[in-house]
Structure 1
Amino acid sequence: MNIKYVIFDFDGVIANTEESNGNFLAKAFNEYGIRFTKEDMYRLIGLNNSSELQGILNRASKQITMEEFMETRKKIGNTYENSKIQPMPGLIALIVYLRDRGIKMAIATSTSTKLIITALNRMHMLPYFECIVCGDMCDRKKPDPQVYQKAMEYLSAMPQDCIVIEDSTIGITAGKNAGAYVIGYGGSGIKQNREEADLIINTYDQCLHKIIEILNGCDK
């Protein structure tokens, strides 16, 4: 492998947002008497799909429009702007190592640009990334590879030169469909099927060691 680029998902990879996201969603659904379950949260991980949200809204005793629900969500707040948010343990050490080796980095996420830029600013992480591709910049969502293909295009990268780091089943599929080597990261603690990944790790210390092995293999 001739690794020149690493592309990160955001939620559950850069920051452990998924449980917090679920809690904010639960508060919004509760406004309409809807119980938001763990199964609902797991099903939504990695998705930016209004039809899934609408399916949950259909449990309400009265009809609720998506516009009404989104306004409620806005009033309640969100993880990226309103909660404590910090990088995953060990992530900064990995990023610094990659940067020092001249490897370019990007983010490819289904979450909206406004929220991702806000979160990265709060964590002082924007300077690390050559490009950021968000869900509202794409017309096709994961597991479609478009978000990763756009990141590769902006990086002027060939798929075989890229590592993708993902935590969700559909994100891993998207990375594989884009032609990248995919690392399935389990550090968020959310159970996901990561069997399709080329490599499965649970900490960024493990990830750093594996990437060092891969890069040393490239140098031989």
Structure 2
Amino acid sequence: MKIPKEIKCVIFDMDGVIIDSEEIHKKAYYETFTSVGVDVSPELYKTLTGSSTINTFQRLIAHYNLDVKPEDLVIDKRKRYVNFFENDPTLHLVNGVENLIKYCYNKGLTLVLASSSAMVNIDRVFNRFNLNSYFNAKISGADLTESKPHPEIFEKAAILGNTPKENCIVIEDSDNGIKAANDAGIFVFGFKNPMVADQSLKNADFVIDDYNTIKTYL
């Protein structure tokens, strides 16, 4: 897909795109996996990246035939994540993203956050790093019927941004998120986050490793 001639709305993923939180999510997930006695391979975990927490546990319960409620595992994992989040003073925004957010905002572009994380986690990040004033809307995949790689989240993001899809771009770091953007018919930049090495980004319309690259198109 070609990049839009006129970009009016930028749709951001959060984990790995705005904040380098993928590692603490992974720690929280693996502690939860261990608590129910399953050994999740790196290959299987890779396929789960970008999905909502409830969707991840639903798939794992089916895969391992576990006798446990996915909602209970979501609560358990969330507690572990919050513990890591609140006790890790080194947690930081992805390099260059704050500058990009402010650049887009000052140009009058519409900014929408579309993340698979629960809204409580989204708010936790946005409050800690003072991002709320820049965004027109925030969507949590946990509140939707479907999860990435389903396109629902990005279709709704364009609607909330009050912008035709042909004037939107998505910034994603996961293969599931990129597929969701592809299927929504929205141009997607695949961000190669050095902290997220297990995603191919092969279906992104354009792969970047520096947010300054996007500015040249805005």
- Mark the runs of 5 or more structure 1 residues left unpaired by the alignment: 216-220
Aligned pair partner of 2:128 in 122, 125, 128:
122
Matched, 1:144 2:150: yes
Letter of the structure 2 residue corresponding to residue 145 of structure 1: P
Letter of the structure 2 residue corresponding to residue 182 of structure 1: V
Letter of the structure 1 residue corresponding to residue 17 of structure 2: V
**Comparing 112-121 and 32-41, the one that deviates more:** 32-41
User: How many angstroms apart in 2 are the aligned matches of 1:39 and 1:145?
Assistant: 23
- If you compute each CA radius of gyration, which structure gives the higher value, 1 or 2? 1
| Deviation >6 Å, runs of 4+ | none
Cα offset, 1:67, TM superposition: 4.2
**Comparing 12-21 and 159-168, the one that deviates more:** 12-21
Give the structure 2 partner of residue 108 of structure 1.
114
- Per-residue CA deviation, residues 76-112 of structure 1 (Å, 9 max, x unaligned), is 3435555443210011111111112111111111111
User: How many angstroms apart in 1 are the aligned matches of 2:34 and 2:204?
Assistant: 36
Q: Percent identity?
A: 30
Cα offset, 1:71, TM superposition: 4.3
The TM-score normalised by the length of structure 2 is 0.85
- Whose RCO is larger (CA < 8 A, sep 6+)? 2
Distance 1:34 1:140, change over 3 A: closer
Give the structure 2 partner of residue 198 of structure 1.
205
Question: SS in structure 1 opposite 2:198?
Answer: coil
What are the equivalent positions in structure 2 for 1:1-220 lying under 5 Å apart? 1-48=5-52, 49=55, 50-55=57-62, 58=65, 63-78=67-82, 79-81=84-86, 83-84=88-89, 85-187=91-193, 188-204=195-211, 208-212=212-216, 214-215=217-218
Judge conservation of contact 2:172–2:189 (CA < 8 Å) in 1: yes
Distance 1:173 1:67, change over 3 A: closer
- Mark the runs of 5 or more structure 2 residues left unpaired by the alignment: none
Cα offset, 1:182, TM superposition: 0.8
**Comparing 180-189 and 74-83, the one that deviates more:** 74-83
Question: SS in structure 2 opposite 1:195?
Answer: coil
The TM-score normalised by the length of structure 1 is 0.84
Give the structure 2 partner of residue 218 of structure 1.
none
Distance 1:56 1:27, change over 3 A: farther
